[in-house]
């Protein structure tokens, strides 16, 4: 592992640039190095590697990748140790400002950092591994005053686990995302009075295991179909108003109740960090809010790939690493003039009860893994794919009917919005799907069988 010093050139060349030194970026770099790409640069904005993992001190990481249960810092250190055995160049404390792909021969990333100043990194291929960010109070539009004491879950996780500070003593948590659930347990163990977790939806958005291990095991109440309708306090938070919501997610009058607290923790979702991708002209999917990619995790721009939480928000870090391996393999193929786009272009989009599906485009006749996130829970459901033209413009089924148009289906016993579903489609099935898709593409749905 090589750290650049202040005497480096203001413009350098490499074969592969990776933006992001978290689990996705490190995993992609390790796999690319193993495959034979020896000229790699990692750009990381923090002064350390590992992304969010160093602050995730709970266990549950690495069961697939390292065949043992690790904490976040342990998982990160495994990756850092592997990178340190290579000659991969690392830019820490460095921000990637923009990506320029106007030159057909190279992709340029303009960076700035306190150690090297402005440096233009030119490479033949690029992997975007920029991670994700949290939704804030401003994005969910909670009315009320603006006192101190309102934090995102990830920030509190860093504050407690890295900095060693408690945000307060009386905690209300809005949203049942995984970080919020984990921090409910963490704050309870630190002696805080966790008043409860309040979720807008009629179901939890976190992993089932976190509901059990973080809430049930510690007698922390979870209230579904509830939200914060008002924040109160002058210089610091004094209380929040909680209301029940109806089927339209609107507060129900007469259900308001006030909870005294000094801390409101927001665990209301994560968003892929892709402002940088937009500077390169990468298409962004409106559902995932990450890059639109094919089955090789290649974006609409040749040579630019995406993986990890910058592509779509994953549930498990092991998934992030596995996806990073795919991106690295395809970047290797691209650098070695192997085909990275097939001769078909089947667009797949979510329909009934599906919030997200990745990839959005299938370009070749090979086995494909689809990552699917449902909108709501199901039991004894069926995932199905049909031509996009089955439905008429008014939303009604065509006269041919739904069942006759199913191109692929798979039964799923349990479906939870907090857990991604992995669906494998074999290449033999893809041929039939591609023939039926035509120009309109295909749609995927989940319904009760």
For residue 441, give every residue at least 6 positions away whose Cβ sits within 8 Å of its Cβ, in sequence order, or none: 346, 347, 348, 349, 387, 388
Q: Which pLDDT value is given to residue 402? A: 42
Neighbours of 73 (CB within 10 A): 18
The residue count for the chain: 449
The 10 Å CB-count burial string (b at 16+, else e) for 369-399 is: ebbbbbbebbeebbbbbbbbbbbeeeeeeee
What is the pLDDT at residue 9?
54
Please determine whether the domains at 2-133+271-335 and 136-268 fall in the same fold group of CATH. Answer: yes
- Dump pLDDT digits (tens) for 160-196: 999 999 999 999 999 999 999 999 999 999 999 999 9
Alpha-carbon distance of 15 to 47, in angstroms, equals: 24
d(CA 76, CA 56): 10
Identify whether the C-beta of residue 374 lies closer than 8 Å to the C-beta of residue 353: yes
Domain boundaries, the chain: 2-133+271-335, 136-268, 346-448
For 96-123, what is the HEC assignment? EEEEECCCCCCEEEEEEECCCEEEEEEE
Q: What is the pLDDT of residues 71-104, one digit of tens each?
A: 999 999 999 999 999 999 999 999 999 999 877 6
Q: Are 257 and 279 in contact (CB under 8 A)?
A: no
pLDDT for residue 127: 98
* Superfamily grouping for domain 136-268: FAD/NAD(P)-binding domain (3.50.50.60)
| Structure tokens, 335 | 């650098």
- Supply the DSSP symbol for 250: P
- Alpha helices by DSSP H, listed for 302-355, are 317-335
Kindly indicate whether the domain formed by 2-133+271-335 is annotated with CATH number 3.50.50.60: yes
Q: What residues of the chain score a pLDDT lower than 70?
A: 1-9, 104-105, 389-404
Query: What's the whole-model pTM score?
Result: 0.91
Q: In what side-by-side order are the strands of the sheet with 354-358?
A: 354-358, 368-374, 421-425
What pLDDT is attached to residue 428? 87
Does residue 353 contact residue 375 with C-beta atoms inside 8 Å?
yes
Q: What pLDDT does 114 receive?
A: 84
CB 291 within 8 A of CB 283: yes
Q: What pLDDT does residue 142 have?
A: 84
């Amino acid at each position: 592992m090589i750290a650049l010093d202040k005497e480096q050139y203001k413009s350098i060349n490499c074969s592969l640039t990776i933006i992001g030194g978290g689990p996705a970026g490190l995993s992609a770099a390790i796999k690319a190095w193993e495959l034979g790409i020896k000229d790699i640069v990692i750009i990381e904005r923090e002064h350390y590697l590992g992304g969010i993992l160093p602050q995730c001190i709970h266990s549950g990481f690495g069961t697939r990748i390292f065949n043992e249960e690790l904490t976040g810092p342990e998982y990160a250190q495994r990756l850092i140790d592997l990178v340190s055995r290579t000659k991969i160049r690392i830019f820490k404390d460095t921000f990637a400002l923009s990506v320029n792909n106007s030159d057909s021969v190279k992709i340029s990333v303009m960076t700035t950092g306190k150690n090297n100043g402005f440096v233009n990194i030119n490479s033949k291929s690029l992997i975007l591994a920029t991670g994700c960010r949290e939704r804030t109070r401003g994005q969910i539009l909670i009315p009320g005053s603006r006192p101190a004491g309102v934090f995102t879950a990830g920030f509190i996780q860093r504050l407690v686990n890295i900095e060693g500070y408690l945000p307060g003593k009386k905690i209300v948590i809005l949203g049942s995302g995984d970080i919020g659930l984990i921090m409910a347990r963490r704050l309870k163990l630190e002696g805080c009075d966790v008043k409860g977790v309040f979720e807008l939806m009629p179901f939890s958005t976190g992993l089932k295991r976190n509901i059990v291990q973080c809430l049930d095991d510690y007698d922390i109440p979870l209230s579904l179909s509830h939200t914060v309708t008002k924040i109160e306090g002058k210089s610091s938070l004094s209380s929040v108003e909680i209301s029940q919501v109806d089927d339209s997610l609107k507060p129900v009058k007469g259900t308001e109740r006030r909870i005294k607290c000094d801390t409101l923790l927001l665990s209301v979702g994560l968003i892929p960090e892709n402002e940088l991708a937009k500077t390169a002209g990468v298409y962004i999917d409106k559902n995932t809010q990450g890059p639109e990619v094919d089955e090789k995790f290649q974006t609409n721009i040749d040579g630019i790939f995406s993986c990890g939480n910058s592509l779509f928000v994953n549930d498990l870090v092991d998934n992030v690493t596995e996806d990073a391996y795919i991106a690295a393999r395809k970047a290797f193929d691209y650098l070695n003039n192997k085909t990275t786009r097939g001769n078909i272009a089947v667009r797949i989009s979510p329909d009934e009860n599906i919030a997200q599906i990745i990839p959005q485009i299938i370009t070749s006749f090979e086995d494909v893994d689809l990552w699917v996130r449902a909108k709501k829970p199901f039991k004894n459901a069926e995932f199905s794919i049909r031509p996009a033209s089955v439905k008429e413009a008014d939303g009604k089924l065509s006269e041919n009917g739904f069942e006759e148009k199913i191109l692929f289906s798979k039964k799923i016993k349990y479906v939870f919005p907090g857990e991604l579903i992995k669906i494998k489609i074999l290449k033999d099935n893809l041929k039939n799907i591609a023939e039926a898709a035509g120009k309109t593409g295909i749609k995927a749905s989940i319904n009760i069988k």
